[in-house]
Chains A and B, each alone.
Chain A
């Protein structure tokens, strides 16, 4: 039986989701980069493990990982090759597809045993199914497509003998700066996201949005207009060129609901909007909307939450 090769770059929830999805389709072989990735692959049911520990993998941008994955994939029969859909994952998949001369699908939210993938396009307004018509199915899988389920296994491990080739050394990673995550849950992990837009008016006023988020144990988000105006840092931007979120509850305060914003939040389970303009497009998708000044509505909401505690 041919296996499904899964690219496991780290021990993130996203990687665990892709392993879970793959397990539902067949026997999983994991290409794991480093110890943490390898233990995640075992926890999420990989039947076999290719372990890559080459020096300098992270000193160069993307290409070494793509090359190492290709060295594992080449010359064997695969039912599919699955990769988490991140900027890096898509780059790895694209380079692998060129190497293998196969087609590839990006951002699938589901994949069946026949290799048919589901993709949401046009800011989520259309749902298409598609497949790779020539060659093995290479697909990148969106975060949150399935719920990660552990299924511990003891995979047969094989160390991969890979050294970074000169071709893969063209782009050096000089430094990586990670901003501290802070005390609130991350945007993509939070069950509740409270976002503010241009209507919040200033960086100081964003403390009101933070208070509401904290009252619900949620994350804070922002529209691009709020980010561009310097009210809140870019890493909290929700939308097409920010983060895509799909929480149980999304609260949009002082956000008009432009298509690029909706692209990042419209699959939220419940959507609530506060906006003083009754014609704001956000109301057409809200489960509950309050037409009013957010500086009146939100403090009153906070009072009520306090009372009910």
Chain B
């Protein structure tokens, strides 16, 4: 079974994140990591390969420095990589990104595409369905469990109050939540092996995508203003020396919660 796993490099959510002067995510500097949920998609891909053989290809659309994220996925155990990198991609919205990813998927043979349920920067949580609309493959989103039997894929789609069991025929596109598994760390051997694995770098023209249809030029949405939310200022902090619960009750009574 041939699997493509979609991975997006994002700014580390544990650090200060900003939009730049162009009102795009500031991706400069060294604070970039693999999308947190994408790690779970990679792990799911590797486990499925262990069960069913085949290949795992990582696909990313992003600037040059996204190679670091690709190397990490290769070190975890993916076989090869496709990196779409082109100046004209900058400023793409969801529709344009989906168009580029769909074009790249169109050049590969795959039975299954795995992705994060949402990215951890813009986090729209829509890519799987957009790609389904483009490729015609079934979309099974928000999986907390995935099983492949022959050409049938079955997932437990996680909901707020339970789950639905979804089933489709391959080829299919599945996105995953962090409840699905525990991602592995790259081993030293994996890190060494990753250096020899192939990363195919593609431009928009390699993909036959019209540069004016994507990026800032082709965007169908526009960010107008950006503001910082006023920081919540810290309130009163007391140390419990036997009266902590009572002082908390005082506070809650003064705020009319008691």
Contacts and interface: CB of A to CB of B under 8 A. Distances in A.
Contact of A134 (B141, B220, B225, B258): B220
B167 interface: yes
Contact of B226 (A61, A128, A287): A128
B153 to A, nearest CB: 9
Contacts of A301: 245-246, 248-249, 252
B73 to A, nearest CB: 20
Interface in A171-219: 171-179, 181, 192, 216
Interface in A104-120: 104-107, 116, 120
Interface stretch (B46-54, B75-83, B154-162, B203-211): B154-162
B257 A170 contact: no
Given A98-B134, A286-B235, A308 B220 contact: no
Interface in B202-258: 219-229, 232, 234-240, 242-249, 251-253, 255, 257-258
Interface stretch (A15-23, A41-49, A151-159, A289-297): A289-297
Interface stretch (A3-11, A25-33, A89-97): A89-97
Contact of B248 (A97, A128, A290): A290
B157 A61 contact: yes
Contact of A174 (B165, B178, B246): B165
Interface residues of B, number: 82
Contact of B221 (A90, A105, A249, A300): A105
A126 B13 contact: no
B229 A125 contact: yes
Nearest to B158: A234
A270 B228 CA distance: 20
Contacts of A93: 126
Contacts, number: 249
Contacts of A170: 137-138, 168-169
B117 to A, nearest CB: 8
Contacts of A126: 17-19, 226-229
B140 interface: yes
Contact of A192 (B236, B253, B257): B257
A231 interface: no
Given A173-B165, A176-B162, A106 B228 contact: no
B124 A122 contact: no
Interface string B3-28: 00000000001100111000100000
A174 B126 contact: no
B255 A305 contact: no
Given A128-B226, A179-B161, A216-B257, A103 B221 contact: yes
Given A126-B227, A290-B244, A173 B160 contact: no
Contacts of B95: 97-98, 103-104
A131 B240 contact: no
A98 B127 CA distance: 12
Contact of B125 (A90, A167, A274, A304): A90
A297 B250 CA distance: 13
B22 to A, nearest CB: 13
Contact of A272 (B13, B228, B252): B252
A300 B244 contact: yes
B30 interface: no
6 contacts: A90-B125, A127-B227, A174-B154, A278-B237, A288-B237, A304-B249
The 6 closest A-B pairs by CB, nearest first: A300-B245, A292-B240, A103-B220, A304-B249, A287-B235, A170-B138
Interface of B: 13-14, 17-19, 23, 36-37, 93-95, 98, 117, 120-126, 129-130, 132-134, 136-142, 154, 157-169, 177-179, 219-229, 232, 234-240, 242-249, 251-253, 255, 257-258
